Amino acid sequence: MYIYLIDGYNLAHKIPEVARLLKKQDFDSAIDRLVRMVQSRLNVHRNRVIIVFDGKKGVFDFPHNTYSVEIRFSRKPQEADDVIRDILRRQSDTSNWTVISSDNEILRTARDLGARFIRSEAFYHAYGPAQNQDSARETKEKYNPEHVDLDYWLNIFGGEENEDD
């Protein structure tokens, strides 16, 4: 079992549709959308997922009983970053932990304690955009042959110099 510890609002701001909801201050919908995105990308039935959010005025709880994801909120004077670092520091072994954040201090703490880490934007792009029309339109890219590692594939398939020359 792997444990994923996610910096909630940090990841949320990397996902266009969730960021729009946050901008409208529709926190419940934003959190719901983020949780559903995480559920669709990580095997939440075989792994443990903890998402930590900064507590906002009036947003300190979320109906997380319906999800297979644990939701936590910081309370003043703590911020989500403090809660994430505290969670990591309390572990005797973090080798099966992966931290998802783009906050350099959090990533440094994860690295120093032996946990794996991935930046929020890399997680979002690696696991693909949410499966809806808006995000599919936003992330559609043309095939660009400049990004192909030709030497790698020639080595794999035993390509040789042009034999006709």
Question: Domain holding 39: CATH number?
Answer: 3.40.50
Which of 3-17, 73-87, 115-129, 143-157 shows the lowest mean pLDDT across its residues?
143-157
Tell me the average pLDDT across 131-158: 46
For the chain, the domain total comes to: 1
Examine residue 165 and state whether it is found in any structural domain, yes or no.
no
Question: pTM surpassing 0.85?
Answer: no
CB count in 10 Å sphere of residue 117: 19
Examine residue 42 and state whether it is found in any structural domain, yes or no.
yes
Please give the C-alpha separations between residue 49 and each of 7, 25, 85, 127, in angstroms, as whole numbers.
Answer: 11, 24, 16, 15
Higher pLDDT, 141 or 126: 126
Please give the C-alpha separations between residue 149 and each of 101, 106, 126, 144, 161, in angstroms, as whole numbers.
Answer: 29, 33, 18, 11, 16
Say if CB 121 and CB 16 are below 8 A apart.
no
Examine residue 163 and state whether it is found in any structural domain, yes or no.
no
Examine residue 107 and state whether it is found in any structural domain, yes or no.
yes
Q: How many CA atoms lie within 13 A of 147 on its CB side?
A: 4
pLDDT, one tens digit per residue, over 42-94 is 877 888 999 999 886 555 555 554 457 888 888 888 899 999 999 999 999 99
The two counts, helices (H) then strands (E), for the chain are 8, 5
Higher pLDDT, 157 or 6: 6
- pLDDT score, position 132: 42
